Amino acid sequence: MTDDLLYMPAVEAASLIRRRKLSPVEYMAAVLAGIERAQPKLNTFVVVCGDQAMAAARDAEAAVARRETLPPLHGVPFSVKDLIDVAGLGTTHGSRIFADNVAKADGVTPARLKAAGAIAIGKTTTPEFGHKGLTDSPLQGITRNPWGLDRTSGGSSGGAAAAVAAGLGPLAIGTDGAGSVRGPAATSGIVGLKGTLGAVPMDTARDVFANNAYAGPMTRTVGDAALMFSTMTGADERDPWSLGGTPRPVSPLLTANGLAGVRIGYIERMHNRLVDADVLANTHDSLKALEALGAEIEPVTEPIDWIEYEGRVLYQSGIATAMKPYMAQWRDKMDPSMVQFADWGEGFSMHDLREANHARTRLFQAIQRLLKRHDFLVSPTTARTALDATFDATKDVIVDNQACGLTRQSWTAYQYPFNLTGHPAISVPSGFGRDGLPTGLQIVGRWWADNDVLRVAALFETARPWAHKRPAF
């Protein structure tokens, strides 16, 4: 029964709580006990606020007993990546620099989940300042993949992904600056959604106008991601992108049971030169499932400049600028890959930075042209399964026994382009490799078509279900 509670979708748990068939206290106790058992093996949490969560669960149970009108996520546990503030809890950013930093107020996304009735259970691990696609840091140690303890759970929302995959709370808030929701989702066998730029406000962005970072839901099912996403969206005065629009209702083209007439463009490679054979096999099987639902699949064959170099200029120069105030005092106490990224960033010129911004515009316009011809784009989410848990992010990734460059040039090449263009993108499980590790399929839609992306993902989930599969860590 305990395992069934841990792997129960949030939608179902919330429904059972409303109907007085599931005790919020019993549910919370099971989740907290699961975290206590798993933490020594996985290291997914920085801090667990068990006493506060149990007190909130008792309040939730009392509200049920009083037959109050209950919000949609009443009594459901959620976790928050350690880059986002939760009042009274530390926000360390995975760094010794902020080891003693305690948040005074909730960030916008935890505040909205709490308003929807969900209960915060703790903060999940991240690499230092979320700078890489693996989750380990000098402050928090290594987070491991529930499907293979010698592998990473991805990054930088790797603690969130591993926790959800292991049944340690059905909902997790992640952040995605270059794939950090979708990559860990694919690597850990769960769902991760990066919405349209501005759909979920980013009150933590250093440069809101040039922002390419997002907060998003990480869950085991598409239904949970959709419910969670609906509570997180909406304007916030601190994020100008959130003031300009809102996700549209599901297109009439998708309201019927199927994808008849839906045009999908398939992109097999982006900047990456190679894709692992297992990833390709699972992706091709996924395309067949979409075709069986009625979709028309067309390979995208025209050359596209995926601006990997220019994207790296933006990313690493941003790191260099953010870290400059701390380098003199903290350099020797930081993750060496963080220091290396900052050093690389210092080497770019003003001309490089301005040209990178111009390239971002060109990439956006190229994707816009593709989405005139296609309703959606699909690709693998990663070029191979999870890297070793101790992989050095400054080294070459190996795909098919060949060195293929840094993670963003190889393993995660499918992810960062849509941070730069702002289009909604979701990763859903596509199968497992021969090594027993998960693979993912990425589905990309038009601006503000987030609900359409979720609808396609939900139909795909029905055709190729995954949530019943549980890691045996």
Question: What residues act catalytically?
Answer: 81, 156, 180
Give the tokens for residue 102. 């305690």
Assess contact for 163 and 45: CB atoms under 8 A. yes
Estimate to the nearest angstrom the gap between the alpha carbon of 35 and the chain centroid.
Answer: 20
CA-CA-CA-CA dihedral for 312, 90, 157, 239, to nearest 10: -60
Burial of 465 (0-12, 13-18, 19+ CB in 10 A): exposed
Residue with tokens 């890959």: 337
As given in the structure block, the two tokens for residue 55 are 């007190």
- Max intra-chain CA distance, the chain: 64
Asked whether the beta carbons of 76 and 10 are under 8 A apart, the reply is yes
Locus of tokens 């206590």: 36
**CA atoms of 460 and 363, how far apart (whole Å):** 28
Sign of the dihedral defined by the CA atoms of residues 232, 237, 241, 243, in that order: positive
Other residues' Cβ atoms within 10 Å of the Cβ of residue 351: 8
Q: Any idea how long the chain is?
A: 473
E strand map for 209-347: 214-219, 263-266, 296-299
Exposed, middle or buried, 19 (CB in 10 Å: 0-12/13-18/19+)? exposed
CA distances from 160 to 93, 408, 434 (A): 14, 21, 25
Question: Which is nearest to 191 in space by CA: 200, 182, 199, 202?
Answer: 182
Reading the block at residue 265, the tokens are: 């463009």
